[in-house]
């Protein structure tokens, strides 16, 4: 089984926290969003490829599970893995870890659709990208 990819490292800052003192949901989504771009880059969906090929990715579904709260000062990492790589669709999981206590803080499953940005409709992912994504499926 392939190891998940490290796709994000960061810290929870006080301005990430809400009136209850823990990281607000908008910041989980933001950190998962940053991890997504690192994940895409690792499988060949780099910003340069997307621009030059007139391609894009659109999130069509996202499910988030919050496991443990994070507070200002928490050190986090996100590890990512593919679960399904189809010609026009990728499904992948990000797992956010609290690095200090080595426990999962949150997990998200995302479904992305590959797009032709000129035609504004879905299109097949190039085979080398599908192969790279499939190599990350456990």
Domain boundaries along the sequence of the chain: 5-134
Q: Which fold has domain 5-134?
A: Thiol Ester Dehydrase; Chain A (3.10.129)
Residues 59-75: pLDDT tens digits? 999 999 999 999 999 99
Q: What does pTM read for this prediction?
A: 0.94
What is the C-alpha to C-alpha distance for residues 22 and 2, in angstroms, rounded to an integer?
33
- Rounded mean pLDDT of the chain? 96
State the pLDDT at residue 90: 96
Instruction: pLDDT band for 136, please (50, 70, 90 cuts).
Output: confident
Region 26-44 average pLDDT: 97
Query: Please, how many CA atoms are within 13 Å of residue 108, restricted to the half-sphere of its CB?
Result: 21
Query: How would you classify residue 126: left for phi > 0, otherwise alpha for psi between -120 and 50, otherwise beta?
Result: beta
H or E element in which residue 54 lies? none
Please tell me whether residue 43 adopts helix, strand or coil conformation: helix
Query: Please, how many CA atoms are within 13 Å of residue 41, restricted to the half-sphere of its CB?
Result: 12
Q: What is the dihedral of CA 56, 58, 62, 68, to 10 degrees?
A: 40
Per-residue tokens: 113: 């659709």
Residues 113-129: pLDDT tens digits? 999 999 999 999 999 99
State the pLDDT at residue 1: 67
State the pLDDT at residue 23: 98
Please tell me whether residue 132 adopts helix, strand or coil conformation: helix
* Overall size of the chain counted in residues: 138
Instruction: pLDDT band for 54, please (50, 70, 90 cuts).
Output: very high
Region 8-36 average pLDDT: 97
Asked whether the predicted pLDDT for residue 109 surpasses 70, the reply is yes
Residues of the chain with pLDDT > 90, as a percent, come to: 93
């Amino acid at each position: 089984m392939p190891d998940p990819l490290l796709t994000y490292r960061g810290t929870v800052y006080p301005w990430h926290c809400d009136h209850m003192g823990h990281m607000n949901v908008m910041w989980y989504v933001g950190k998962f969003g940053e991890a997504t771009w690192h994940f895409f880059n690792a499988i060949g969906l780099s910003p340069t490829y997307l621009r030059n090929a007139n391609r894009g990715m659109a999130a069509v579904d996202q499910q988030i599970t919050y496991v443990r709260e994070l507070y200002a000062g928490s050190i986090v990492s996100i590890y990512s893995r593919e679960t399904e790589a189809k010609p026009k669709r990728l499904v992948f999981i990000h797992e956010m870890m609290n690095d200090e206590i080595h426990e999962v803080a949150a997990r998200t499953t995302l479904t992305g659709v590959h797009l032709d940005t000129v035609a504004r409709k879905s299109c097949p992912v190039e085979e080398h990208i599908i192969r790279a994504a499939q190599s990350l499926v456990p």
